[in-house]
Amino acid sequence: MTASITYTLWRNPDDRSDPVNLADLNEKTRRSIEEVPPWPRPPWLIEYVERLRYPQLEEAVRTTWHRDPSERSSVRSLLVDHVNHILMNQYRQELWPGSNPWDQHAPTVTGRMVNSQARTLINGVDMPGAEVDTDPFVYGIGAQLAGGGVVTAVLPRAELMRIQVQFTTRR
């Protein structure tokens, strides 16, 4: 089982109306957000469309649990999978300019690129973890959870100075 969370990035969290918080949108996207259809939209859709104005850290944190532990359920393997998923879906044009979405590409990150000596904070406690700190576009970090699951985060390198990298249990 896997659950992913997308976060809104507030570059100035103290003043959410500050224009620095707005995403860099192309004209087509901006028009589609601002255009109001002639039919009423449900409140959840209005809220979703409004969030599109701000940068999103899509699928930034992922928690995975396997019933039967294996090499595929290790922190190393799940971190590599998460990093490659983000690179393939959010940095495709940067990695493979001019390629088509259906083109198959070899994974950008492999298990050999994982630093298994990393540390991370989980609920304020310093824990052993693993990281991918070799990619020019993203930084990835992950750790084993006490209940047998694995938590990973893959974050845009360009925004790292605005992000406090630590995990907290949500209930």
- CA–CA separation, 103 vs 17, rounded Å? 40
Q: Report pTM.
A: 0.89
Residue 39 predicted with pLDDT over 80 = yes
**What tens digit of pLDDT does each residue of 118-156 get?**
999 999 999 999 999 999 999 999 999 988 899 999 999
In sequence order, what DSSP letters do the residues of 65-127 get, joined into one string? --SS--GGGSHHHHHHHHHHHHHHHHSHHHHSTT--TT-----S--GGG-BTT-EEEETTEEE
- Burial bucket for residue 28 (CB in 10 Å: 0-12, 13-18, 19+): exposed
Residue 14 CA to chain centroid, in angstroms?
Answer: 23
**What tens digit of pLDDT does each residue of 46-86 get?**
998 889 999 999 999 999 999 888 888 899 999 999 999 99
Q: What is the pLDDT of residue 70?
A: 86
**Region 31-43 average pLDDT:** 90
In order of 25, 84, 131, the CA distances from 155 in angstroms are 19, 12, 11
Q: Which amino acid is at 168?
A: T
Contact 122, 167 (CB under 8 A): yes
- DSSP run (H or E) holding 50: helix 43-51
Residue 157 CA to chain centroid, in angstroms?
Answer: 11
